[in-house]
Amino acid sequence: MASHRSGGRLQRSVLFSQDGKLLFTCASSMVKVYSLNGSLVRVLHRPAADGEEGASLSALALNPGNPYQLLAAAYDGSVTLWDYVDGVVLDVFYAGAPVTHIATSSALPHGSFLAAVSFNEAPRLAALHAHNIARGICPRGKTKAKGSRRGGMPDDPPPATQIRICSFTGSVNAAADDDSTTAAATRAVADADAETGNVLFEMAAAADIAISASGMWIAAVGSSILYIYTMPTGKLHKLCRARALFTSVDISPKEDHVATGDATGIVYVWYMFAPGYLESILVDVVQYRGDDPMPHMTRHHWHSNNVLCLGYAPSGYLLSGGMEAVLVTWHVGSGKREFISRLGAPLAAVAVSPKATHVALLCDDNAIRVIDARSRRLAYQVSGLKASAEVMQPGVGLALEPVTSLVVVNGSPSTLQFFDPVLDVSVAEMEIIESYSYVSSAHALLGGKGKGKAAKKAAKKAAKHQYVPFISHVAFTPDPAEAPATARTLAPDLVPLTCQWMVTSEVTHPKVSNQSTLKFYRALSGLDFELVTQINAPHKATVSALAVHPFLPLVATASADGSVKLWEAFEEETATTMGSKLAALRWRMRSMSKFRDASASALAFASDGSVLAVAHGPAITLWDPLSNTLMATLSFPTEPLTALAFLPHTPYLVALTGVRVFVWSLLTRSVVWSLAIKGSHLCVAPTGNGAADARFALVAGSGASPSVLVFGADSAVPRAIVPIDGEDALGLAYLPPSGADPALRLILLNAESEFVLVDEVAAKLVGFTTRHIHSASDATAAFSEGKHNSKAASRLSALFTAADNDDAVSADVEASALFEAHNPALDSLFLAPVHVMPAVSNVFDAFMSAVLPRSLRDAAGPLAVQDGSTAYESDDYPSSSSTSSDESDDEADDDEAGATSGDDGVAAMATASSSSSSSSSSSDSDDDEMLGADGAEPDAIARFAKAEAAWASAAAAPPASLSELGLPEADALNKLFTSLA
């Protein structure tokens, strides 16, 4: 099974599948596929030829000729054709240079696509340049086109991008109609080189490209020029603006105009597709300047900063987004606009589902927010790993939640994110700093309100002195169930650890020494935490270290002012409105200590909780945490210490400075060994087998050749050296053993927001081999049936949530005779208008036949149903609204195949209702022959009379089971009720 990295930055592109059920996005070198409910279904990853990590992806596009194929372009010049159902690579096209954009159209020959190839820049420079152009950021922070002057035209930028038509096949048969647009595209591909594609035209560094649905028009923007290429004639036109850079472009579905966005926040709509307009232009470059609208062009301005994305809905409405975190819906004809605001982050890309029911927004905070177009509210959110070099703090690093073994990182400066690196899913995100709206630092850099150089200069000055509050430390108390039985006797004055606690420290402003806050959260259920105690300014300076006791409600904090404080939980009695007293847990300071007025930089508790080690400059002090007495002092290094950690269940203490690592033995109070290396991100393996198995890891070296070193307690010779060339480490941690994987796993977080496994045996970085929310077979079935599974809590909830969420039973629910397959017809059975809905009595039998699969109906046998004083058998009663057993089975089989859509299901239901009513009169004569004189089948009447007598006789003494009644249906009913229970 292929492995891949976990996490990654969601970037560049977001895309719906042709049926609107799936969502695709780029995540570093991977394509992540999400279902309609936001769960991760599949990861498409193609490693490089040498087995290393592939290049970052730049764009995605669907193959219009096959709804189950996806194109993914990368900055290494490759375009991969994926079968995303099976997760296999069908073909790879190499352009020979970085591919920054791709686009497809059904008018192009099969296997062909449009590509923007950056031919004169290195891949990394091309990626950076294209990103800056898309964000509207020029070199040196300028948004004006190079060489532009007041009243003048910009200099023609040097060619940097080629627009090519490429093909995976390399040869396409010529079309019969030589005058059609498809024939022109076919001839272009037929003349193309099989390796590089056919070059249509050259342009400046491309910020965005688009192709019309008919394949007649190609639009591209680069620098301050809009390029329009006509496929039938092969003619190129350039429309220039001198004021700002173009950032995005899109062509309307009706192909009557094209929209562009620029770095000043203006959206231009160009109506150059009017009949005969482009043919009347005799020059190649239309020299437009100024802000006055030119013929066949309108100007729309709301955004205060650059327009980052544009997209058309199928109905013709134009959507735009930018740095303001607001989605604007434009009615192009009237200029009216509507807004969806407070989306949390700048909008980098927008996509509309084929039926225009949902809008997907790729946001700058590494999240995809899906908006319900009908309610204009957030339907669901897909969050990637938000940890980055911008928000990660050394104090937090990679913290582990001990109960769930989730990795906790800085999500944004004000939030903590709980992430599962194995399943590659964001489980939760918790806001720690309240009432702080963090958008992006780029918003201030690009200028706020006002225009002109003075306003931009003032905005840059304000951004330089702007400070964002951040979470500096986080720690968790262990699972109370794992506390030793002697914990109560060791500290009788402390309340027992009855619940889990999370402790955080935050820095409001570093230039104000006491502007920090310490918070204590109590775990309620799962990842739901409640703030219990908040302590403002716990020290005279900011908190520099935080540690929790292994099994007692005791927390230690250190500060740069040299103080070390111990905090304890206690019960506080509060009076209620009824006069009674209620005990509540709170936190307070227990004791404080200092050592020679030296600043405290690191803390560590021993695994048995008997010793607290504190780093005071170059010295290590050992304290009894309960009595707050100094036990010993270790002072060998001359450099200030940066990190401390005890090896579990051993007497060894690891100390880290900026240039050396030490291992101390507390039994002899001497250095066991030391090594001169520049280390960081110290982490200890949670092993419990003594000194022989104890080990720790750190990142050594910096610059071009860093490595992960794994050491034992007894030797300075590393047990493993794993090179991480090109990986800027942000954190290192050991994942504890789990049921699925009993071995310890060392994970590394890099600057690309990716988790990667450190293989200590093979001495290399490897990816995760995961079974995501669905297995491979489940995902294939979901793609084939057009359904996407979501995890259900029980069998009954899996049945009834399907009608609401369009979801099937999860792969985690065991297969049973009760739920053999989900019935898609139930999703739309009751969605028809009231005036066309049949009576409930007419659809009851058909509904029950659809709910219960064939195996259950066969096991239950014929069930007697009562109507007034006469009973009939549901299988024998020829009602006009019911179907025969064979027809019901056929309908159930069709429903299980997932072939009925929502609209078709409503229409089919209305048709079946009218046809059954018209055919009821013709079947009355046949019904009379089958039934008795009073309209009932004789055997059914006798059977019901027997059943009625049996129930009457059992009224005084209810039977222990149905089998005591002597009914032929007893065994079947017992099976049915047992299954439902």
- CA separation, residue 41 to residues 22, 23, 560, 784 (Å): 9, 10, 47, 13
Q: What is the mean pLDDT of the chain?
A: 73
Q: Per-residue pLDDT averaged across 887-897, rounded?
A: 42
Instruction: Indicate the pTM of the whole model.
Output: 0.71
Does one domain contain both 650 and 662?
Answer: yes
923 part of a folded domain: no
Give residues with Cβ within 8 angstroms of 245, minimum separation 6. Answer: 133, 136, 138, 143, 145, 207, 223, 224, 262, 263, 306
The position carrying tokens 């062009």 is 297
Residue 306 amino acid letter: N
- Left, alpha or beta for 354 (phi > 0: left; psi -120 to 50: alpha)? alpha
Residue 954 pLDDT more than 60? no
* pLDDT grade for 283, boundaries at 50, 70 and 90: very low
Residue 924 pLDDT more than 50? no
Please tell me the predicted confidence (pLDDT) of residue 522.
93
Report the alpha-carbon distance of residue 509 to residue 189 in Å, rounded.
60
DSSP 768: B
Please tell me the predicted confidence (pLDDT) of residue 311.
93
Does one domain contain both 543 and 624?
Answer: yes
- Lowest mean pLDDT of 99-113, 663-677, 695-709, name the range: 695-709
Please state, as a whole number, how many other Cβ atoms lie within 10 Å of the Cβ of residue 483.
Answer: 17
Does one domain contain both 589 and 708?
Answer: no
Please tell me the predicted confidence (pLDDT) of residue 819.
29
277 part of a folded domain: yes
Residue 808 pLDDT more than 50? no
Does one domain contain both 379 and 392?
Answer: no
The position carrying tokens 């504890």 is 736
List, in sequence order, every residue forming a beta bridge with 546; answer none if it has no partner: 557
Q: What is the pLDDT of residues 473-522, one digit of tens each?
A: 999 998 888 888 777 778 888 888 888 999 999 987 666 556 789 999 99
The closest of 442, 443, 383, 463 to 415, measured between CA atoms, is 383
901 part of a folded domain: no
Does one domain contain both 691 and 708?
Answer: yes
Please tell me the predicted confidence (pLDDT) of residue 54.
72
Does one domain contain both 523 and 659?
Answer: no
SS (H, E, C) 305-327: CCEEEEEECCCCCEEEEECCCCE
Does one domain contain both 58 and 84?
Answer: yes
Does one domain contain both 480 and 606?
Answer: yes
User: Per DSSP, which regions of 252-393 are E strands?
Assistant: 258-262, 266-270, 285-286, 297-301, 307-312, 318-322, 327-330, 337-340, 347-352, 358-363, 367-372, 377-383
User: Per DSSP, which regions of 384-527 are E strands?
Assistant: 399-401, 406-412, 415-420, 425-431, 470-476, 501-507, 516-525
Please tell me the predicted confidence (pLDDT) of residue 56.
86
Report the alpha-carbon distance of residue 78 to residue 725 in Å, rounded.
23
Q: Give the domain range for residue 69.
A: 9-47+54-137+161-170+196-206
Residue 769 pLDDT more than 90? no
Q: Per-residue pLDDT averaged across 331-359, rounded?
A: 90
Alpha helices in 391-468 (DSSP H): 441-445, 452-465
CB 519 within 8 A of CB 432: yes
Distance of CA 32 to the CA centre of its chain: 9
The closest of 223, 196, 192, 186 to 208, measured between CA atoms, is 223
Residue 595 pLDDT more than 50? yes
Residue 133 pLDDT more than 60? no
Does one domain contain both 631 and 651?
Answer: no
The residue ranking higher by pLDDT, 433 or 938, is 433
Report the alpha-carbon distance of residue 658 to residue 693 in Å, rounded.
26
- Lowest mean pLDDT of 673-677, 706-710, 754-758, 795-799, name the range: 795-799
- Lowest mean pLDDT of 16-30, 105-119, 289-303, 581-595, name the range: 289-303
**Domain end (from 768, 800, 823):** 768
User: Per DSSP, which regions of 433-537 are E strands?
Assistant: 470-476, 501-507, 516-525, 528-536
The residue ranking higher by pLDDT, 470 or 251, is 251
Please tell me the predicted confidence (pLDDT) of residue 164.
93
803 part of a folded domain: no
CB 197 within 8 A of CB 221: no
Does one domain contain both 672 and 621?
Answer: no
**Maximum Cα–Cα distance across the chain:** 109
Please state, as a whole number, how many other Cβ atoms lie within 10 Å of the Cβ of residue 944.
Answer: 19
Residue 692 pLDDT more than 50? yes
DSSP reduced 3-state for 271: coil
* pLDDT grade for 918, boundaries at 50, 70 and 90: very low
- Lowest mean pLDDT of 351-365, 480-494, 676-690, name the range: 480-494
Highest mean pLDDT of the ranges 330-344, 416-430, 610-624: 610-624
* pLDDT grade for 934, boundaries at 50, 70 and 90: very low
Please tell me the predicted confidence (pLDDT) of residue 789.
33
- Sign, Cα dihedral of 790, 791, 796, 797: negative
Residue 791 pLDDT more than 60? no
DSSP reduced 3-state for 346: coil
Helix, strand, coil percentages (3-state) for the chain, rounded to 5, are 20, 35, 45
Please tell me the predicted confidence (pLDDT) of residue 913.
36
Please tell me the predicted confidence (pLDDT) of residue 340.
93
Q: What is the pLDDT of residues 289-330, one digit of tens each?
A: 444 455 577 889 999 888 999 999 988 899 999 999 999 999
Please tell me the predicted confidence (pLDDT) of residue 400.
92
563 part of a folded domain: yes
Instruction: Round the CA-based radius of gyration of the chain to a whole number and report it.
Output: 34
Residue count of the chain: 981
Q: Per-residue pLDDT averaged across 688-713, rounded?
A: 85
Residue 890 pLDDT more than 60? no
Does one domain contain both 626 and 496?
Answer: yes
Please tell me the predicted confidence (pLDDT) of residue 484.
81
CB 727 within 8 A of CB 699: no
* pLDDT grade for 387, boundaries at 50, 70 and 90: confident
Please tell me the predicted confidence (pLDDT) of residue 155.
54
263 part of a folded domain: yes
Q: Residue 879 corresponds to which tokens in the numbers above? A: 């009602």
**Domain end (from 719, 738, 768):** 768
**Domain end (from 340, 355, 384):** 384
Report the alpha-carbon distance of residue 258 to residue 217 in Å, rounded.
10
Report the alpha-carbon distance of residue 947 to residue 820 in Å, rounded.
31
CB 325 within 8 A of CB 344: yes
Residue 359 pLDDT more than 50? yes
Q: How many structural domains does the chain have?
A: 4
CATH number at residue 559: 2.130.10.10
518 part of a folded domain: yes
- Lowest mean pLDDT of 112-116, 396-400, 921-925, name the range: 921-925
248 part of a folded domain: yes
Does one domain contain both 507 and 612?
Answer: yes
List, in sequence order, every residue forming a beta bridge with 871; answer none if it has no partner: 866
Report the alpha-carbon distance of residue 28 to residue 57 in Å, rounded.
6
Report the alpha-carbon distance of residue 562 to residue 971 in Å, rounded.
77
Please tell me the predicted confidence (pLDDT) of residue 751.
83
Please state, as a whole number, how many other Cβ atoms lie within 10 Å of the Cβ of residue 395.
Answer: 21
Highest mean pLDDT of the ranges 378-382, 832-836, 923-927: 378-382
Please tell me the predicted confidence (pLDDT) of residue 160.
82
